[in-house]
Structure 1
């Protein structure tokens, strides 16, 4: 795959039918100014927030400040940071490219996120916040034992560097390659990584979440601008849907569809989403820094609502591009083509700045997540007497190491047809055991520590083998990856249940606090009776599910 390959039709703008991929002085000025401000503001603002929190009596130690922002974030910051972490360059590049390739069915990953976040705030987040953990591997030690913590911490680091961060950096390199074909991809990746590392290393999660809030806002505005410009450029909605065809304008595809068969919504999309939104340190760390359970819940639900707008902001422009540029060789170049062909000088500089900011926003979140795991799950576990200052220093060193690994790996993602295909395919084989270990542990107190550890260390290596054998080595995949996810999920459930039942029962004192009970629901229901409707997460959840259902039905 060549990221910069573009073959545009005669009706495209620019001279000779080609968009003019030239960054003007005005565009460059806007980009540089934005990038500078988006690094200075988070560092200054996070420092002031720490001082204000301490003045108000909210005390936290140095490591809690650095890795969790002092656990003092209100719901808008939680929501926007969740969205910014999720958006990245893969949203602009990957969603538009995926929509150009397979149509609006790719929205399944977005609307399913809203459903999963409702599950998260009802049944999972309360256990995380009650446990007062820094990391999700630490949570596994409290529910199971240290073996599961170490196994999952290792997987998290692997996923952070080789899946999440590498994909985000690759997305940015695609944009740079279109603008400056002569720059080697490894150079682009390194430059973007360094931009993200500046305030991550210095400011920790506090600076990251403030930066994320800024980036999410600007990115959403950028999406609106591109949507309006693209809609104005097409002949009409009816003409566009005719070019796209019924299949690309439908959310539900046949069971034998190569990209997103409808049974795969349950066997794959739901499973991947449960991993990403409920068990991934990268994402959940935002809610661990929430001021309270209510703020964590409100922020998560608002993030789910924002995710529903992605259909209009990022996916439909990709489908509309089919009628504007029907012969693009590389679908991941749809977004930069729209920006340079349809937007005026200066404004496109702002959009490009938003894309770069979105990419670095994801990378900074991943770096903070990786450094937290290295420091709190490995260093502090094996050297519990390490000082607060040394823990923070270790986190900064870990940030740099993780960055180097991702920089080296990112260019290899180019062998996949689209960025989204890479992300979803890898996750489908690797994450089902993780989902089973977390959710089974909350659902059933009989699940034992040995069963959880066995499931992780047996099923995840098998997932790696399965991915290589069925997706990488053959010229064409031998199994649809969403179906492979369902198979892995079923085998993981079977393994964890069998091993739990044949072994001794776990200590109830250890499992009691981390296992769901009906009494939790009853007690909470009494507490919520005096809560206004607008603040009651249950009513807010029902509203979010209703909006999701309406969108799915309209486009089904």
Structure 2
């Protein structure tokens, strides 16, 4: 049944009006730049450090985190916070070492970086790769997870029924249209509306977490304060507050056994091993080699870009409180039969917690969830538009050099087409996002190209000998190796080798029968794919000149940090160390 009251709808409408009005104000203010491609795609020079930092978080925190990471919090616990906390270090690395390279060489898109450093072929291959990835993995998963969560809160029907599907489709279209409106205003509108989005996201997310903890305290009879609720979580389920998971036995886990659950957790988060493998590749590739993210900083000066990135890293430290703790709260409540109607599906954990919230706060929480979804959709759409327009249309499609107006119009049409494609692929979950689990779906399939892409960027930035041939081989080899380790390695080499250990666990299929799955943890797959790719690229490059003519020249003066930047870095590292000491 519909669980929202009039005050919930009023709060949500106020949020929508606030964002839309501010976005329109920013758009009108920059009317003179309406047909300036640099302004449309990059908001060049107009975003402050706090707008960059807020926009990074608003675009990053989406249904993937609210629904997916909350679900992993329900299933695994604090170990999933590694994705957020390691990101803080990754942002420092990007700010200190990557940004000087980008800004000194006037890089505006990631394919442009590859063309400047390598050649046109590498740039074109990766532009196509990124377009497919952003549309088929990122846009679809954000849209599906977000629409499913909101439908569960505002719908009048049971999940799986035709009525539920109809509401799901309407909300899906509504989210896409809302994001489309913001995106058509360009990066400046996205950047500054993201400041409101991240404020709503944090306030609504913290309010949800606070209420979730008070509910836990009340249901477990330890008092109805958030502190009492948090202590109750730790006392009731201490295994959910460990950053490093214990390694399970490499035997087959069967349905409804502790071993089966331990194996499923390990496959997603393989203990300390992930810190020597895929965890760094995931974060450094996402934050440093990703048009969707780096675009916010590429139009700023170095000091502004650095401060914005490190500010975003500081905000990342608090994100698990918002997106993970509600999932752990749902786990404990479900364990004590205090979540009636909840099936135990991890992607339904966040919605189950929201159903407990009082009128008014529920509307704020839905606004926070919508803010996260819309901001991410808008950022992804803008990046798709930027890559297609600047790196494909203007270079390979336009018969003559396109003027500024034509580029902006093409960018807007691209946004519209990408939105329609995302809706079509998400309509009946054609890609199987629901069965895979939202968070795992994104990490796993993004991981197919991350090893090769990161190897290509890392060597291209910091090793002058890397050649264009090595780059092409690297990106293709990284992709092939990721698929090989994921789908074929176990069948050829067996479950136990010096490279990896594969695990077998059972899940219930739609037919109600147990089905066995054998796989290597995908973060381990990414690690070995990266190592082999780097070694191959180095071997190929050694056959070339000692210094590639297209290599970037380093400017050590750009690596110098001001006192404010150093202070922010030190504070971030101290806080992160304290968190790991507490929850190791």
Q: TM-score, normalised by structure 1?
A: 0.87
Q: Check whether the contact 1:112–1:270 (CA below 8 A) recurs between aligned residues.
A: yes
CA shift in 2, pair 1:223/1:170, >3 Å: same
Is 1:511–2:527 an aligned residue pair? no
CA shift in 2, pair 1:66/1:166, >3 Å: same
- The partner residue of 1:33 within 4, 14, 36 is 14
1:87-486 correspondence runs (5 A): 87-179=61-153, 180=155, 181=157, 182-184=163-165, 185-201=168-184, 203-235=185-217, 236=228, 237-245=230-238, 247-256=239-248, 257-261=266-270, 262-290=272-300, 292-326=301-335, 328-341=343-356, 343-382=357-396, 383=398, 385-410=401-426, 411=429, 412-464=431-483, 467=486, 475-486=516-527
Distance (whole Å) between structure 2 residues aligned to residue 330 and residue 307 of structure 1: 26
Distance (whole Å) between structure 2 residues aligned to residue 432 and residue 302 of structure 1: 27
Is 1:546–2:574 an aligned residue pair? yes
Distance (whole Å) between structure 2 residues aligned to residue 23 and residue 465 of structure 1: 48
**Structure 2 partner of 1:57:** none
What's the offset of the Cα at 1:413? 3.7
Please state whether the residue corresponding to 1:124 is helix, strand or coil: helix
CA shift in 2, pair 1:85/1:477, >3 Å: farther
Please state whether the residue corresponding to 1:476 is helix, strand or coil: strand
Q: Check whether the contact 1:129–1:293 (CA below 8 A) recurs between aligned residues.
A: yes
Distance (whole Å) between structure 2 residues aligned to residue 50 and residue 546 of structure 1: 44
What's the offset of the Cα at 1:468? 5.6
Distance (whole Å) between structure 1 residues aligned to residue 113 and residue 35 of structure 2: 20
What's the offset of the Cα at 1:91? 1.9
CA shift in 2, pair 1:336/1:282, >3 Å: same
Please state whether the residue corresponding to 2:517 is helix, strand or coil: coil
> More displaced, 80-89 or 542-551?
542-551
Distance (whole Å) between structure 1 residues aligned to residue 518 and residue 422 of structure 2: 25
Distance (whole Å) between structure 2 residues aligned to residue 121 and residue 482 of structure 1: 24
**Structure 1 partner of 2:497:** none
Please state whether the residue corresponding to 1:258 is helix, strand or coil: helix
Gaps of 5+ in 1: 1-19, 55-59
What's the offset of the Cα at 1:170? 1.4
Please state whether the residue corresponding to 1:416 is helix, strand or coil: helix
What's the offset of the Cα at 1:32? 2.5
Q: Check whether the contact 2:267–2:522 (CA below 8 A) recurs between aligned residues.
A: no
- The partner residue of 2:47 within 50, 62, 73 is 73
1:26-65 correspondence runs (5 A): 26-48=7-29, 62-65=36-39
What's the offset of the Cα at 1:306? 0.5
Q: Check whether the contact 1:95–1:315 (CA below 8 A) recurs between aligned residues.
A: yes
Q: Check whether the contact 1:92–1:314 (CA below 8 A) recurs between aligned residues.
A: yes
Distance (whole Å) between structure 2 residues aligned to residue 322 and residue 555 of structure 1: 18
CA shift in 2, pair 1:415/1:344, >3 Å: closer
> More displaced, 63-72 or 400-409?
400-409
Distance (whole Å) between structure 1 residues aligned to residue 35 and residue 489 of structure 2: 48
CA shift in 2, pair 1:93/1:415, >3 Å: closer
Gaps of 5+ in 2: 158-162, 218-227, 249-265, 338-342, 491-506, 510-514
Is 1:82–2:123 an aligned residue pair? no
What's the offset of the Cα at 1:524? 4.8
Q: Check whether the contact 1:64–1:71 (CA below 8 A) recurs between aligned residues.
A: no
What's the offset of the Cα at 1:547? 1.4
Distance (whole Å) between structure 1 residues aligned to residue 354 and residue 393 of structure 2: 45
CA shift in 2, pair 1:130/1:255, >3 Å: farther
Distance (whole Å) between structure 2 residues aligned to residue 138 and residue 479 of structure 1: 35
CA shift in 2, pair 1:147/1:99, >3 Å: same
CA shift in 2, pair 1:477/1:307, >3 Å: farther
Task: Give per-residue Cα distances to partners, 1:24-79, cap 9 Å, x unaligned.
Answer: 2322232223223312311312432566xx8xxxxx97101110113321100000
CA shift in 2, pair 1:325/1:21, >3 Å: farther
CA shift in 2, pair 1:39/1:364, >3 Å: same
Distance (whole Å) between structure 2 residues aligned to residue 23 and residue 227 of structure 1: 19
Q: Check whether the contact 2:481–2:529 (CA below 8 A) recurs between aligned residues.
A: no
Please state whether the residue corresponding to 2:61 is helix, strand or coil: helix
Q: Check whether the contact 1:429–1:481 (CA below 8 A) recurs between aligned residues.
A: no
What's the offset of the Cα at 1:271? 0.7
Task: Give per-residue Cα distances to partners, 1:356-386, cap 9 Å, x unaligned.
Answer: 1210110000000000000000112224611
What's the offset of the Cα at 1:289? 2.5
Q: Check whether the contact 1:94–1:418 (CA below 8 A) recurs between aligned residues.
A: yes
